[in-house]
Amino acid sequence: MEIIVIVVVILLLWVAISSIKIVPQAQAYVVERLGAYQGTWSVGFHMKVPFLDKIARKVNLKEQVADFPPQPVITKDNVTMRIDTVVFYQITDPKLFTYGVENPMMAIENLTATTLRNIIGDLELDQTLTSRETINTKMRANLDIATDPWGIKVNRVELKNIIPPAEIQNAMEKQMKAERERRESVTRAEGEKKAKVLVAEGEKESAILRAEAEKQSAILRAEAEKEKMIREAEGEAEAILKVQQANADGIRMLKEAGADEAVLKIKSLEAFEKVADGKATTILLPAELQGIASVAAAFKETSKNL
C-alpha cells in the first residue's frame, strides 16, 4: 500500500513538473487544448493543463536567413542563367505561421523562384547584370505581400550569384580583359606624357637659370669694368691735381721769395710745357707771354750749346 502511495505521489509530482513551462527570450509557444488553438505563450513562466494542453509549435522570433539553391531563369532576350537568392525573414505572428501554410520554408522557396522568374523575364541580360538593387527591391516587396498571411515578414532579399551561360562568361571575360588592357595602355600613355612634360619643364627651368646666370655675370663684368675705368679716371685726375698743386705751391714759394713777374711767367710756361707732356699739342698763350716765351726758348737753346 505504501508503495502505491509513493508511486502515485511521484506521478503527481512528475505531472506537475511537466506542466510547468518557461518560454525563453525571442521565442513563442503555440498551445492547443484538445486539438484546438488555445493561445500563444510569450517569454516567461507558464503552466499548462495536464493531458489537455499541448505545445503545438515552438516558434523562433529572431530574424532568420534562408539560402536557396540556384534557380534557372530566362531573360527577355532568351538567355538562360542561374540565380541563387538569400532571403532574410522574421516571424511576426506565431499563430499564422503555425496554421497558415503547411511548410513555410518550402512555400517561401517556391514563391521566391516564381517571383524571380517573373522579374527576370522582363529584363534583358545586361539589365539583369546591372540591376541587382532593383531586382532585390521588387522581390522583397512581392514576397512580403505574399507571406503576410503566413505571419512572416520579409525584411530583404539579396541575389547571391548570377551565373550566365559559359559562352557568355567567356565573352565577358574577354571584354573585361580588353578593357583592362585599354585602361593600362591609357595609363601608360598618360604617364609617358607627364614624364615628357616634366622633362620639358626641367629643361626650360634650366635654360632660364642659365640665362639668368649669364645675365648676372655680364652685369657684374660691366660693373667691374665701369668701376675700373672710374678708379683709373679718378687716379689720373688725382695725379693731375697733385701736379697742379705742386706747381701752384712752387709759384707761391717763388712769389714769397720775392721773384719778379718775369720769373713767375717763365714758371707758368714750364707748367704749360708739362701739361702738353711733349705731345703735339697746340697751346694759345696770352700776348704778354709770347715775348717771354721767345726769350726763354733762346735761353734754353744757349744753355744746351754750352
CA distance 65 to 109: 12
Q: Could you tell me the sign of the dihedral formed by the alpha carbons of 129, 133, 134, 135, in that order?
A: positive
| Tens-place pLDDT, residues 201-237 | 888 888 888 888 888 888 888 888 888 888 888 888 7
**Residue 30 exposed, middle or buried by CB count within 10 Å (0-12, 13-18, 19+):** buried
**Residue 51 exposed, middle or buried by CB count within 10 Å (0-12, 13-18, 19+):** exposed
CA distance 109 to 267: 139
| Mean pLDDT, rounded, of the chain | 80
**Domain 64-164 listed as CATH 3.40.50.10190:** no
| Tens-place pLDDT, residues 17-29 | 878 888 899 899 9
Q: Which of 49, 48, 82 is nearest to 68 (CA)?
A: 82
Q: Is the pTM of this model over 0.85?
A: no
Q: What angle do CA 126, 132, 138 make, to 5 degrees?
A: 115
Q: Which three cell numbers stand for residue 86?
A: 538569400
- Is the Cβ–Cβ distance between 17 and 36 less than 8 Å? no
10-residue block means of pLDDT along the chain (306 residues)? Answer: 78 82 90 90 88 89 90 87 91 91 89 90 84 89 91 91 79 78 84 85 87 86 85 80 73 62 57 52 51 49 48
Provide the residue ranges of all domains of the chain, joining segments of one domain with +: 2-60, 64-164, 223-305
CA distance 34 to 57: 15
Query: 44-53 long-range contacts, Cβ below 8 Å, gap at least 24?
Result: 45/20, 45/21, 46/20, 46/21, 46/22, 47/19, 47/20, 47/21, 48/19, 48/21, 49/19, 50/15, 50/16, 50/18, 50/19
